Amino acid sequence: MSKVENRLKELGIQLPTPNAPVANYVPYVVSGKLVFISGQVTIAPDGLKYVGKLGAEISLDDGKACGQALRRQSSGRS
C-alpha cells in the first residue's frame, strides 16, 4: 500500500468504486493548490444525493458534505 492509501485507512476513509463515465470528459483539473471538479454527481445506494442549488434547496452544511463526497469520489478515479 502507498503512503496515501495507508493514511486514508488510518483516517477510516474508504474511496468508493468510481461510476462508469456517461460521457467523454475530464472529471477534475488541478491548478496550483486548487482542484476544479466538473460533471460529477453524488450517487448513493438509494440514488442521487444533494440535488439542487446551494442556498436554495441545499443547505451550506449539505453543500460541504457534497464537496467532500465528490472529492472522495473523484480521488477514486485513475
* pLDDT > 90: percent of the chain: 17
Residues facing 30 on adjacent strands: 35
Residues facing 44 on adjacent strands: 47
Nearest to 74 by CA among 41, 47, 45, 49: 41
**2-52 per-position pLDDT tens digit:** 888 888 889 888 877 776 767 777 778 899 999 887 777 787 778 888 888
Grid cell digits, residue 61: 452544511
**64-76 per-position pLDDT tens digit:** 988 888 777 766 6
What pTM value is reported for the model?
Answer: 0.53
